[in-house]
Structure 1
Amino acid sequence: MLADHFPLLGLRVRTPRLELRLPDEDQLAALAELAAGGIHEPDTMPFLTPFTDAPPDVVARSVVQHHYRMRGELTQDKWALPLTVLSGGIVVGAQSLEATEFAVTREIGSGSWLGRDYQGTGIGTEMRAAVLHLAFAGMGAEVARSESFDDNPASARVSRKLGYADDGTARHAVLGRRRTGHRFVLTREAWERHRTVDVAIDGLEPCLPLLGADGSAAS
């Protein structure tokens, strides 16, 4: 099996409603089509990398290329897991987890998006809770960070609900405009105090060496 050579393909993170995984070909096609259908209001841009500012066919192709690129570039020193989120077997969005020199820093970052039909249903909170459990309980992370723009209050609400604290601001240039990003930080202690979602992880142990994690934490 391909997962014998690239065990991240066998990783599954599950909550009461969701499953997060690296997508198979059909799921990746569904994810691309979901993004192409629009995932935010056309007059806004909630992403630092404005991948949705393109015709639908280009957006779809960029999603596919992004997933293949992240798999191909993954190393212990720098990696990103572009997980696809399924609810009832239906692709509803994407939730990423990423780190640089994780073995040293024990710090992760995250990013996400949801199809328009699934926004405002609590799925965004549940899927972020899932990858936080993967990071803290499964991989031994000590710190998680997130950032969102002024016009993306939904992301900020998710961060605060899960226990993140404000961590200052940053300036970015997006599509030729200056944007202010609000930073958030979550410690292991704060994560433990705010845990409310049941999460199960399967297939993690063989993945740990690929991610620079020593497996000392129980999943």
Structure 2
Amino acid sequence: MKNKYTYVWVSLVILVFGIIFIPKIIERIKTGTIIEHDRMNQTEADEPLNFIYLNNEKRKVPSFQFLNQDSLLISEKDYEGKVYVVEFFFTTCPTICPVMNSNLVEIQEEFRDFDNFGVASFTINPEYDTPRILKQYAEKYGINDMDWHLMTGNRQAIYDLANIGFNIFAAENQGVPGGFEHSGLFALVDKNGYLRSRTDDFGNPIIYYRGTISESQGENDEGEIQEVSILKEDIKKLLNE
């Protein structure tokens, strides 16, 4: 008889626990409020970001010096101690640039309170994109963070920076809309000027982040997934280093 009553009480305790706590656990999963240190929430995303290597050396942002939208001379030294995102674009781009810069404005707002975060945008059409044009473009898109510089200058220096320095493709091509083509990728740089990224499913650094798809869109017609979300996560990691 004692064992029978013990079984009844154990069953009752389990039933009460399920009624009270299981709905709360489900709700936390739905709303994403599982705290950072929950065992279930610990994933590979908690690992530090990789350095990018070239010839067995960590890739670092090369020296550059260009005028920004306020006609101020900006170099890589202005980004020392800051985590920043790099892009190559042009103001008359009719295709991917508006999406790229809308995504970056969203990132700007998320990290506005961080003095050690910035963006470096280099135009690949410097003959047209003067500081005055870049200023107008900044006002149009709501680019107003003091550490977001839209830069213009010597054409060859910019193309060398893109294609050699960052290995992010950029070229003039009169056969494409706008007359220029580029990859639409973002590079992520740490506080010491090194390129960093997370790894893919095979353990290889992704190197760059896809900037041509918004978080709200999710994926494009080719089935490529947006990477703005993971870029935000990785910016936070570098800010906390």
Q: TM-score, normalised by structure 1?
A: 0.28
Larger Rg: 1 or 2? Answer: 2
The structure that is strand-richer by fraction is: 1
Normalising by structure 2, report the TM-score: 0.26
